[in-house]
């Protein structure tokens, strides 16, 4: 029958057209899309998604291979885990980078931990007694001094009003009539780089830790003097504790924001003496800060530098409840937590380590930051400044400290917060690592880090979904209040 033959041929043609279209579509896919399809078809894909979900959608997970076996006193295995059954025989764990520019999900978690760590020291919780909120507590901001005039955002006022022909020795204007906004890229840049004190600035950043130590020493001495007790007996009366974060200003200098608290002689649980008041602490902090002098190492090449805090100083008492005038504990904890996910990027710098002076020219940084990097590199070559390790820390503009540091008794630790979270997530009721009579033998090895392009897209999707879930949960909590 001619009719049916024709139909069969038509069907065949239609099928082959559909096949061609399908192949053409596949070819039209980008390599990443093709990889997405390949990953999704891999055996163990569902488990891989579970792993990435457990890392919160970490952007650069570390892959580990190995096993852990826990036995009781008789040698019986009570729990065992091995990556042998995992996809690719490896397990993804968080990169734990605190910087939002490196890994948004891990920095979010670190920010949350910082919030709880700072808040516990203000209102109690996580092992710190609630009575700390009755103790004298201040929120203090210590700044760097001026190293030379920089453009600044002054809320609609001219940047640096001067007479028109007021020029520096390099023929540049000492004034700037422009009203810069905060996002203006020129903010933080010197009016004249030749006039700017780059050596002073770099040495200052490199001594921020020493300046802070000198500040707390001076504050303790002044507290002892005010109370009329010998400095060596101060610990029998009060304990000074703190948590502080370092923030890079637009000009690349460090600011320190700190919570300073006075406890009794036995730490947070003991009452400070009556003389240790908010008012006394508030009066002594500015005195101590302005009295501090740190002497940079003598150097024939650069001369001698005396380092001190800037005159801009902010000291505010803290209150647990907002009466409209004072800072609340939660506001301060949130404020400090915000800074730990940021670093030199606020100063237009990069977090790339400098391995050779010539590579500085190739970095996507401002001319001002490049000048600080070159100063770090050059000073780093002087033997008398070797201990400042300015070359390995050049990318941090000479600052070697941790973004957040605290005194031992202030509150809990990041480690304790992570351990508490791990316990909470161990929903299977398995043995706790601190159970006595149990021995755990673990062997782990590094099995790679990071995602392929396709896997990175999937992880980003997971991170976004988790973030949305968090937002919905936060809204629900808000509605329940
Ligand atoms: Zn991460
Ligand atoms: Zn200006
Ligand atoms: Zn000049």
What was the pLDDT predicted at 239? Answer: 95
170 CA → ligand 3 middle, Å: 4
From CA 52, how far away is CA 95, in angstroms rounded? 12
Ligand in closest contact with the CA of 172: 3
Closest CA to 318 of 242, 264, 256, 248: 242
- CA contacts within 13 A on the Cβ side of 372: 31
3-class DSSP state of 122: helix
Tell me, in angstroms, the distance from the centre of ligand 2 to residue 377's CA: 28
Spacing, Cα 51 to ligand 1 middle (Å): 13
Please provide the distance, in angstroms rounded to a whole number, between the alpha carbons at the two ends of the chain: 78
Let me know: does 204 contact 146? Beta carbons within 8 Å. no
Q: What is the rounded CA–CA span in Å between residue 25 and residue 318?
A: 63
Element at 425 (helix H, strand E): helix 414-425
Task: Please give the DSSP secondary-structure letter assigned to residue 128.
Answer: B
CA distances in angstroms from 188 to 252, 285, 346, listed in the order given = 8, 27, 10
> What is the distance in A from the centroid of ligand 2 to the CA of 346?
18
Q: What pLDDT does residue 326 have?
A: 62
* DSSP H or E run through 34: helix 31-40
Distance 145 CA to ligand 2 centre (A): 19
Tell the burial category of 2 from Cβ atoms under 10 Å away from its Cβ (0-12, 13-18, 19+). Answer: exposed
The values of phi and psi at residue 243, to 5°, are: -135, 135
Place of tokens 């005039």: 149
The answer for residues whose C-beta is within 8 angstroms of residue 416's C-beta and 6 or more apart is 126, 127
**Kind of pairing, strands 294-295 and 239-248?**
unpaired
Distance of CA 384 from the midpoint of ligand 1 (Å): 38
- Tens of pLDDT along the chain (481 residues) come to 455 556 667 777 877 888 888 777 777 788 878 888 888 888 888 998 999 998 999 999 999 999 988 888 888 998 888 999 888 889 999 988 888 888 999 988 888 899 998 989 988 988 899 889 889 999 999 999 999 999 999 888 999 998 778 899 999 999 999 999 988 989 999 999 999 999 999 999 999 999 999 999 999 999 999 999 999 999 999 999 999 999 999 999 999 999 999 999 999 999 999 999 999 999 999 999 999 999 999 999 999 999 999 999 999 888 655 555 567 888 888 888 888 888 787 787 887 889 999 999 999 999 999 999 999 999 999 999 999 999 999 999 999 988 888 888 898 888 888 888 776 665 444 445 555 678 888 888 998 898 888 889 889 999 998 888 888 777 766 555 4
The pTM assigned to this predicted structure is 0.81
Measured in angstroms, how far is the CA atom of residue 423 from the centroid of ligand 1?
20
Which ligand number lies closest to the CA of residue 174?
A: 3
Name the residue among 7, 87, 84 with its Cα closest to residue 47. 87
Beta bridge partners of 176: 160
Q: How far is the CA of 62 from the centre of ligand 1 (A)?
A: 8
Which of the ligands is closest to the CA of residue 150? 2
The alpha carbon of 8 and the centre of ligand 1 are apart by a number of angstroms equal to 57
**CB within 8 Å of 269: residues ≥ 6 apart:** 129, 131, 263
Ligand whose nearest atom lies closest to the CA of 92 = 1
User: From ligand 3's centre to the CA of 17, what distance in Å?
Assistant: 73
13 CA → ligand 1 middle, Å: 51
What is the CA(350)–ligand 3 centre distance, in A? 26
Strand bridging mode 137-142 / 313-319: antiparallel
Cα 204 to ligand 2 centroid, rounded to whole Å: 24
CA 119 – CA 125 distance, rounded (Å): 8
Rounded distance between C-alpha atoms, residue 254 and residue 478, angstroms: 36
């Amino acid at each position: 029958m001619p009719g049916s033959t024709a139909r069969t041929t038509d069907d065949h043609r239609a099928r082959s057209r559909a096949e061609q279209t399908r192949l053409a579509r596949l070819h039209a896919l980008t390599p990443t899309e093709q990889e997405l399809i390949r990953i999704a078809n891999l055996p163990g894909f569902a488990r891989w998604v579970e792993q990435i979900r457990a890392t919160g959608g970490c952007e650069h997970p570390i892959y580990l291979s190995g096993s852990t076996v826990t036995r009781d006193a008789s040698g019986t295995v009570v729990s065992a885990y091995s990556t042998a059954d995992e996809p690719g025989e490896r397990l993804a764990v968080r990169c734990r980078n605190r910087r939002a520019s490196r890994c948004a999900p891990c920095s979010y978690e670190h920010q949350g931990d910082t919030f709880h760590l700072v808040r516990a020291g203000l209102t109690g919780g996580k092992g710190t007694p609630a009575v700390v909120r009755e103790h004298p507590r201040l929120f203090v901001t210590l700044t760097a001094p001026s190293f030379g005039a920089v453009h600044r955002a002054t809320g609609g006022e001219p940047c640096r009003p001067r007479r028109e022909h007021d020029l520096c020795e390099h023929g540049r204007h000492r004034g700037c009539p422009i009203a810069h906004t905060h996002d203006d890229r020129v903010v933080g840049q010197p009016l004249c780089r030749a006039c700017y004190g780059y050596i002073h600035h770099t040495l200052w950043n490199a001594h921020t830790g020493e300046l802070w130590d000198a500040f707390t020493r001076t504050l303790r001495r002044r507290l002892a003097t005010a109370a009329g007790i010998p400095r060596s007996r101060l610990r029998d009366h009060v304990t000074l504790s703190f948590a502080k974060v370092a923030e890079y200003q637009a000009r690349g200098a460090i600011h320190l924001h700190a919570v300073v608290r006075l406890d009794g002689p036995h730490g947070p649980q003991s009452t400070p003496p009556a003389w240790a008041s908010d008012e006394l602490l508030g009066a002594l902090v500015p005195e101590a800060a302005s009295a501090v002098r740190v002497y940079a190492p003598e150097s024939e090449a650069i001369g001698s530098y005396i380092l001190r805090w800037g005159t801009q100083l902010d000291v505010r008492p803290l209150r647990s409840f907002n009466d409209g005038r004072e800072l609340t504990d939660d506001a301060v904890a949130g404020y400090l937590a915000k800074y730990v996910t940021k670093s030199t990027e606020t100063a237009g710098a990069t977090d790339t380590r400098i391995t050779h002076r010539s590579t500085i020219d190739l970095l996507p940084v401002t001319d001002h930051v490049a000048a600080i990097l070159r100063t770090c590199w050059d000073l780093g070559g002087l033997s008398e400044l070797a201990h400042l390790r300015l070359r390995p820390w050049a990318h941090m503009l000479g600052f070697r400290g941790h973004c957040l540091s605290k005194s031992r008794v202030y509150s809990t630790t990041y480690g304790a917060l992570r351990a508490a979270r791990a316990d909470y997530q161990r929903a299977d009721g398995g043995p706790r690592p601190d159970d006595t009579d149990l021995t755990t033998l673990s062997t782990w090895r590094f099995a790679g880090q990071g995602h392929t392009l396709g896997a990175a897209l999937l992880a980003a999707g997971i991170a976004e979904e988790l973030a949305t879930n968090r937002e919905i949960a936060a809204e629900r909590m808000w509605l329940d209040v």
